[in-house]
A and B are shown apart, each in its own frame.
Chain A
Amino acid sequence: MFDDGSPIYRQIADQIKAEIMNGSLEPGGKVMSTNQYAAFYQINPATAQKAFRELVDEGVLYKQRGVGMFVAEDARDKLAADFRERFFERVLAPLVREARQAGIPLTDIIDYLKAQEGVLK
């Protein structure tokens, strides 16, 4: 499950973000504990803790002492902007680069995307 080369705590943080975006974690909802994460993913609990700390620093989660971790009310808005930025950086930038290497004009790609929009509607 952890194989894209980035640190595991970041992959866990990304996964929690994805769960918030797709609605499986609701704003205000409680997140599993570090120990539950550690047992589920078979990782050191300190690694799970690092993921949580990062998400708290980003304002995506908040901590209630003695109770646990919760999803911030505005987490989804915060993440939406993030996701948009990352989509361009991680998906579109390499696409443009590969198209250039293969000699595919960008106008062809634009035409293709426009056709897809028709299909999706």
Chain B
Amino acid sequence: MSLSVTLRDVSLRYGAEAALTGIDLDLEAGKIYGLLGRNGAGKTSLLSLVAAFRKPSTGRILVGGEPVWENASVVSRVALIREGGDFDDTETVKATIESGSIRPSFDTEYAYKLADRFELPLKKRVSALSRGKRSVLAAVCGLAARADLTMFDEVHLGMDAPTRDAFYKELLAEYLERPHTVVLSTHLIDEVANYLEEVVIVDRGRILQHADIEAFQGMGATLTGPAAAVDALGLDALAEQRLGGTKSITVASALDADTRERAAAAGIEIGPVGLQDLFIHLTDPNRNGA
């Protein structure tokens, strides 16, 4: 059974510093979410609260409709995988995989299959693993946990591109076989965009946006053409560039049919804005009002 997540007016303070403020968030059971945010935006804090690694300073957090704090029966169905993996460094890879079975849903056979596929050296100690292999071990334990809510917190960071690709493929295969709630925290957005159903952007401790992936993909556009013609459209530009008489602007809203027609007639090229670029513009600290 997949688990839903509900946060109501949640805040988290580390001493005097506010890590999260006024978070209201609903994640439906059985979907794959992307959690995007710059470094220090509050992604890890948010996930730590949902996994009950930490207690919120204020507010309520429900997982599967139940308060998650000190709730062993719910927490046993939630997996939060952090990049380093939270392992005992003195153990071997094999012992680490075996110890996964303290979780009732852990699939040891699947874990060994993945370990083989990702070429994990079973006899090596965790402390002797490269950063990449350590991330892989974390990902393997996360997938094999077969939890009802699985959250990967930038677990891909140490992996090279082919390994990340294999990890996303395996994640999707596991999801198709056994639908459950997945949260992928990342800033390599374009890489994971196709796997996501919804996207949540966290910025400076608050939820900046939460929408379907399609809404984000249709949210922006770039317009490139003669500078005077681009200016004549009178659009609110997030960013602009000039090269001689040519001007290119990025807008964060969908273009209406009339604007598209006028742009085409004036010889202006309209292009998509990748989710990554949109994210960079939306979380730009120099943007006012954010």
Interface residues in A1-23 by Cβ distance below 8 A to B read 2, 4-9
> Is B53 among interface residues, defined by CB-CB distance under 8 A?
no
A92 to chain B, nearest CB (A): 13
Identify the closest chain B residue to A93 (Cβ).
B264
Q: How many interface residues does chain A have, given as a range?
A: 20 to 34
* Interchain CB contact under 8 A, B271 and A44: no
Flag if B218 contacts A39 (CB, 8 Å): no
Would A44 and B195 be within 8 Å (CB), given that A5-B272, A7-B217, A7-B218 are in contact? yes
Tell me, in angstroms, the Cα distance from A38 to B174 when the chains sit together.
12
Tell me the B165-191 residues at the A interface (CB within 8 Å): 168-169, 172-173, 175-176
- Chain A residues with CB below 8 A from B50, complex form: none
Q: Which chain B positions have C-beta within 8 A of A44? A: 32, 172, 194-197, 213
Q: How far is the CA of A97 from the CA of B173 in the complex (A)?
A: 46
Indicate if the CB atoms of B196 and A9 lie closer than 8 Å.
Answer: no
B194 touches A43 (CB 8 A): yes
> Does A99 sit at the interface, judged by CB under 8 A?
no
Q: Across the A-B interface, how many residue pairs have beta carbons closer than 8 Å? A: 46
Asked whether B194 lies within 8 Å of A47 as measured between CB atoms, the reply is yes
Interface status of A46 (Cβ within 8 A of chain B) = yes
Q: Which residues of A contact B217 (CB under 8 A)?
A: 7-8
B194 touches A8 (CB 8 A): yes
Q: Is A42 an interface residue (CB 8 A)?
A: yes
Q: Separation in Å of the A6 CB from the closest CB of chain B?
A: 8
> Is A27 close to B, CB under 8 A?
no
Residue B214 interfacial (CB < 8 Å): yes
- 0/1 interface trace, chain B 264-290, chain A, CB 8 Å (1 if under): 110100011000000000000000000
Bound: A22/B93 CA distance, A: 52
Q: Are B271 and A5 in contact (CB under 8 A)?
A: yes
A59 within 8 A of B: no
Q: A7-B214, A46-B31, A97-B264 are in contact. Are A38 and B197 (CB under 8 A)?
A: no
Q: Which residues of A contact B196 (CB under 8 A)?
A: 44
**Bound form: Cα–Cα A2–B213 in Å:** 14
Interface residues of B in 38-78 (CB under 8 A from A): none
Note all chain A residues with C-beta closer than 8 A to B169.
42
Q: Tell whether, in the assembled complex, residue A47 and residue B197 are in contact, meaning their CB atoms are under 8 Å apart.
A: yes
When distances are taken between beta carbons in the complex, the residues of chain B under 8 Å from A47 are 194, 197, 213
Least distance between A14 CB and chain B CB atoms (Å)? 15
B contact set with A: CB distance below 8 Å: 31-32, 168-169, 172-173, 175-176, 194-197, 213-214, 217-218, 264-265, 267, 271-272
A-B contact pairs, 27 of them (CB 8 A): A2-B194, A4-B272, A5-B272, A7-B214, A8-B194, A8-B214, A38-B172, A38-B176, A39-B173, A39-B176, A42-B168, A42-B172, A42-B194, A43-B195, A44-B172, A44-B194, A44-B195, A44-B196, A44-B213, A45-B175, A45-B176, A46-B31, A47-B194, A47-B197, A47-B213, A97-B264, A97-B267
What are the nearest 4 A-B pairs in CB distance? A5-B272, A46-B197, A7-B214, A43-B194
Supplied contacts A47-B213, A97-B264, 17 more A-B pairs, CB within 8 Å? A4-B272, A5-B271, A7-B214, A39-B173, A39-B176, A42-B195, A43-B194, A43-B195, A44-B32, A44-B194, A44-B195, A44-B196, A44-B197, A50-B214, A94-B264, A97-B265, A97-B267
